[in-house]
């Protein structure tokens, strides 16, 4: 094993490439916002920005709540969100503007007809492609992070939320300019309250496909990704088209379709959670001779309430240090089960498996060494609830 800190396998530290990428996405976001300022009153921009930012913490919490079994590295999640809010919005906005200009002036169609046409057939292709690029980047450079469909949905949702936030600023500014406060209120209700997960759901179809491809070999992966990409563009086009051409009734139908997709994605996430539990129960008992895993560890790791109870126990008896140790142990143990599955599928070679296995075991050993020692139970007293590692 190399002399480096074994925590490298948990992939928590930001790289130089990540920092450079965040700088790029930040600059793109500033350029995109500058267009919004120039296109409307600066006061309108700040009102729109505040309204667009307001639901973001709640939406992010809802997405991250689905990612508790094997949390993704924060740096990757931040980059996905920043890509959607910066690069994807800026490039898509420029291309969509050119498409609208071309349809209106070269094809000689009226503005309203050209706008509906561009929104239905042009914008979905451009926007889903720009959002999907970050998922292809993860497949190419961070393949080990895509352990199942849940990971694909989480990353797709992050880039979708970033995109929707920045796009909402433009829509809110335009609504204030064109229709005043009443138009703004209607737009906020439609985009910020009734359909905040539209963009995440569109792109989640690409996320599921990319995650599927990350777990397999062969040319079939290309067709799966293409199918997910087409599905995302089609769903996006249906949403825009029904809203543009059919009116309120069409919007209701599109909304119901979106709800169906939402429930399907939630079902996929719960199925994937059961799969991860199965991997933990299958692979971790073999490590009992190391002293790093006992049956109560497997039981604790196999349920979210058990994990939460263990973290509460660690914090109660060991403070923040104990909580950090328990978090590290849970993450490393879960990654160990997923590592075995990647090896079984042939996604990684033997040397990579051996290196990561050793690093994960060292992380688990280091975490267990920092577990708090429970206070002895007084005669006639009751054992404190929660996880108790014992001797």
Tell me if 181 sits within 8 A of 173, measured CB to CB.
Answer: no
Higher pLDDT, 66 or 206: 206
- Please state, in angstroms and rounded to a whole number, the distance separating the CA atoms of residues 1 and 131: 38
- Please state, in angstroms and rounded to a whole number, the distance separating the CA atoms of residues 211 and 150: 8
The reported pLDDT for the residue numbered 124 is 95
User: pLDDT band at residue 374, thresholds of 50, 70 and 90?
Assistant: low
The reported pLDDT for the residue numbered 326 is 93
The reported pLDDT for the residue numbered 89 is 95
Q: Summarize the confidence of residues 26-42 as an average pLDDT.
A: 85
- Joined together, the tokens standing for residue 349 give 């070679």
User: pLDDT band at residue 2, thresholds of 50, 70 and 90?
Assistant: very low
Q: What are 221-240's pLDDT values in tens digits? A: 999 999 999 999 999 999 99
Tell me if 208 sits within 8 A of 214, measured CB to CB.
Answer: no
The reported pLDDT for the residue numbered 195 is 84
- Out of 35-39, 117-121, 288-292, pick the least confident: 35-39
The reported pLDDT for the residue numbered 365 is 93
Cβ neighbours around 215 below 10 Å, total:
18
The reported pLDDT for the residue numbered 202 is 96
Burial class (CB in 10 A: 0-12, 13-18, 19+), 360: buried
- On the question of pLDDT at 390 being above 50, the answer is no
- Out of 7-21, 74-88, 173-187, pick the least confident: 7-21
What are φ and ψ of residue 215, in 5° steps? -100, 5
Quote the distance between the C-alpha of residue 184 and its chain's center.
29
Q: What are 166-217's pLDDT values in tens digits? A: 999 999 998 988 888 888 998 898 888 888 899 999 999 999 999 999 988 7
Alpha-carbon radius of gyration of the chain: 24
Q: Summarize the confidence of residues 73-84 as an average pLDDT.
A: 91
- On the question of pLDDT at 220 being above 60, the answer is yes
Please state the three-class secondary structure of the chain as a single string. CCCCCHHHHHCCCCCHHHHHHHHHHHHHHHHHHHHHHHHCCHHHHHHHHHHHHCCHHHHHHHHHCCCCCCCCCHHHHHHHHHHHHHHHHHHHHHHHHHHHHHHHHCCCCCHHHHHHHHHHHHHHHHHHHHHHHHHHHHHHHCHHHCCCHHHHHHHHHHHHHHHHHHHHHHHHHHHHHHHHHHHHHHHHHHHHHHCCCHHHHHHHHHHHHHHHHHCCCCCHHHHHHHHHHHHHHHHHHHHHHHHHHHCHHHHHHHHHHHHHHHHHHHHHHHHHHHHHHHHHHHHHHHHHHHCCCCHHHHHHHCCHHHHHHHHHHHHHHHHHHHHHHHHHHHHHHHHHHHHHHHHHCCCCCHHHHHHHHHHHHHHHHHHHHCCCCCCCCCCCCCCCCCCCCCC
Q: What are 42-52's pLDDT values in tens digits? A: 888 999 999 99
The reported pLDDT for the residue numbered 23 is 85
- On the question of pLDDT at 379 being above 60, the answer is no
Q: Summarize the confidence of residues 287-299 as an average pLDDT.
A: 90
The reported pLDDT for the residue numbered 384 is 47
Quote the distance between the C-alpha of residue 25 and its chain's center.
17
The reported pLDDT for the residue numbered 386 is 59
- Please state, in angstroms and rounded to a whole number, the distance separating the CA atoms of residues 252 and 318: 52
The fraction of the chain above a pLDDT of 90, given in percent, is: 53
Q: Which residue has the tokens 């990647």?
A: 342
Burial class (CB in 10 A: 0-12, 13-18, 19+), 115: middle
The reported pLDDT for the residue numbered 383 is 45
- Please state, in angstroms and rounded to a whole number, the distance separating the CA atoms of residues 225 and 205: 9
- Joined together, the tokens standing for residue 279 give 């991997």
- Please state, in angstroms and rounded to a whole number, the distance separating the CA atoms of residues 269 and 126: 27
- On the question of pLDDT at 91 being above 50, the answer is yes
Tell me if 209 sits within 8 A of 220, measured CB to CB.
Answer: no
Higher pLDDT, 142 or 131: 131
Q: What are 17-32's pLDDT values in tens digits? A: 777 877 888 898 889 8
């Amino acid at each position: 094993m190399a002399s480096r800190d074994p925590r490298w396998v948990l992939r928590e530290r930001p790289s130089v490439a990540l920092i450079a990428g965040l700088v790029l996405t930040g600059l793109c976001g500033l350029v995109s916002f500058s267009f919004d300022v120039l296109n409307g009153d600066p006061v309108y921009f700040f009102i729109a920005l505040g309204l667009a930012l307001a639901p973001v913490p709640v939406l992010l919490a809802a997405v991250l709540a689905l990612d508790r079994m094997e949390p993704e590295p924060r740096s990757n999640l931040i980059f996905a969100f920043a890509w959607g809010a910066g690069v994807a919005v800026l490039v898509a906005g420029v291309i969509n503007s050119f498409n609208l200009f071309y349809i209106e002036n070269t094809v000689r169609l009226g503005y309203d007809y050209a706008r509906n046409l561009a929104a239905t057939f042009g914008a979905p292709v451009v926007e889903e492609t720009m959002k999907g690029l970050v998922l292809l980047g993860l497949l190419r450079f961070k393949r080990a992070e895509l352990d199942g469909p849940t990971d694909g949905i989480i990353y797709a949702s992050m880039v979708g939320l970033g995109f929707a936030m920045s796009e909402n600023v433009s829509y809110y500014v335009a609504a204030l300019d064109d229709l005043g406060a009443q138009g703004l209120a209607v737009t906020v209700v439609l985009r910020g309250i009734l359909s905040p997960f539209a963009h995440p759901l569109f792109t989640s179809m690409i996320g599921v496909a990319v995650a599927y491809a990350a777990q397999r070999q062969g040319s079939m992966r290309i067709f799966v990704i293409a199918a997910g990409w087409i599905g995302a563009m089609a769903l996006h086009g249906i949403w825009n088209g029904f809203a543009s051409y059919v009116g309120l009734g069409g919007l209701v139908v599109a909304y119901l379709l979106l709800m169906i997709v939402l429930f399907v994605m939630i079902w996929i996430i719960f199925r994937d959670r059961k799969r991860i539990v199965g991997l933990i129960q299958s692979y971790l008992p073999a490590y009992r001779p190391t002293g790093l895993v006992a049956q109560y560890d497997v039981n604790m790791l196999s349920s979210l309430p058990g994990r939460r109870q263990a973290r509460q126990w660690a914090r109660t008896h060991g403070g923040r240090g104990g909580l950090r140790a328990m978090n590290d142990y849970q993450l490393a143990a879960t990654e160990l089960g997923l590592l075995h599955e990647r090896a079984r599928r042939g996604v990684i070679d033997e040397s990579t498996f051996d290196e990561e296995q050793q690093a994960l075991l060292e992380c688990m050993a280091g975490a267990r060494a920092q577990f708090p020692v429970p206070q002895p139970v007084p005669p006639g007293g009751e054992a404190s609830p929660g996880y108790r590692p014992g001797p």
